[in-house]
Amino acid sequence: MSKIFFTKMTGAGNDFIFIDRKKNPDVDLKDENIRKLCNRRFGIGADGLILIDDTSGYDYKMSYFNSDGLAGSLCANGARCSIRFAQYTKRLKNNNASFVVDDIRYSGKIIDDKIIQFNLNTPKDIFLNKELRTSDRIINFSFVNTGSHHVVVKMDDIFDTQTGKKISFNNISEIPVYQLGKEIRYHDQFNPDGTNVNFIQIKGDVIYIRTYERGVEDETLACGTGSVASAIILHLSENLNPPITLRTFGGDNLIVNFSIVNQNVENLTITGPAIIVFEGTVNRDLFF
């Protein structure tokens, strides 16, 4: 077979290349192939690649790879897109989906033609009000593992190392997300795996979020597990009650809902848009 068949999808601006094993039975994805396909100048372009396989006992199996070519941790926007993809490829018997990622069972459902809900497992390793120092900043942060590691930084919790004074940003667009996110992502405090980094601003009734993603090594237009992490931290530190809506850098809203049972976060969901952008083929010789 000289062609690879793919589907391009986006979940609130977080974009993915989907490859279906049914259409590409002999595909053998290596790091280099994934990097080429995800390249925005010489490939299809995406934040990550998702391989869909059939598997016994579930609607499908999802394997996620970051644009750096390496297997990624849980991707909630990718999972939401996978539910839409499973419906499109007639893998679902109804609007509910049951699937596996890294041998862990997940579920979700189709709300309507654009909106998908994904159900996450109980988060782990929640830490509030920690501190780290970068080359020129003191950062107060919180941390939570929502299936991926996430640092959450409120816009007003960034200080100058020299003076110790708070750095005043008028709005979240002024935060140097790439520079500061990269420094935190690779900080010794998060060795050896590193972390994703979320910056949030509460402005009236709107919560704005920007995210530096590990594995993409850049800011993305949305991050599902990062939005979930931020909502949990905002509930614990700001007493915000779920459901909590966050405005992504791409302009879409992601809604995080959960309940507190015996001081644990349970029934955790994220809901938002997931759409098919286009389908196509690529010449195998260019990428494999």
DSSP 40-62: TTTSS--SEEEEEE--TTSSEEE
108 plus 137 within the same structural domain: no
Both 177 and 253 in one domain: the answer is: yes
Is 239 found in the same domain as 213? yes
Same domain, yes or no: 27 and 68: yes
Catalytic pick from 223, 233, 244, 265? 223
Q: Which helix (H) or strand (E) holds 234?
A: helix 224-238
List 17, 19, 75, 254, catalytic entry: 75
d(CA 15, CA 202): 26
How many structural domains comprise the chain? 2
Does residue 149 sit in the same domain as residue 42?
no
Residues 110 and 169 in one domain: no
The answer to whether residue 223 is catalytic is yes
Same domain membership, residue 240 and residue 137: yes
Does residue 113 sit in the same domain as residue 194? no
Alpha helix segments (H runs only) across the chain: 31-38, 76-88, 177-185, 224-238, 284-287
Whether residue 264 sits in one domain with residue 232: yes
Q: Are residues 154 and 97 in the same domain?
A: no
Question: Is 245 within 8 Å of 98 (Cβ atoms)?
Answer: no
Supply the CATH number for residue 250's domain.
Answer: 3.10.310.10
Instruction: Looking at the structure, tell me whether residues 158 and 94 fall in a common domain.
Output: no
CA-CA distance, 67 to 16, in Å (whole number)? 9
Instruction: Kindly state whether residues 108 and 151 are assigned to the same domain.
Output: no
Asked if 226 and 76 count as a contact pair (C-beta separation under 8 A), the reply is: no
CA distance 49 to 39: 11
- Give the pLDDT of the chain (288 residues) as one tens digit per residue: 589 999 999 999 999 999 999 999 999 999 999 999 999 999 999 999 999 999 999 999 999 999 999 999 999 999 999 999 999 999 999 999 999 999 999 999 999 999 999 999 999 999 999 999 998 999 999 999 999 999 999 999 999 999 999 999 999 999 999 999 999 999 999 999 999 999 999 998 899 999 999 999 999 999 999 999 999 999 999 999 999 999 999 999 999 999 999 889 999 999 999 999 999 999 998 888
Look up the domain containing 279 and give its range: 3-118+275-287
Task: Count CB atoms within 10 A of the CB of residue 287.
Answer: 18
| Whether the Cβ atoms of residue 24 and residue 37 lie closer than 8 Å to each other | no
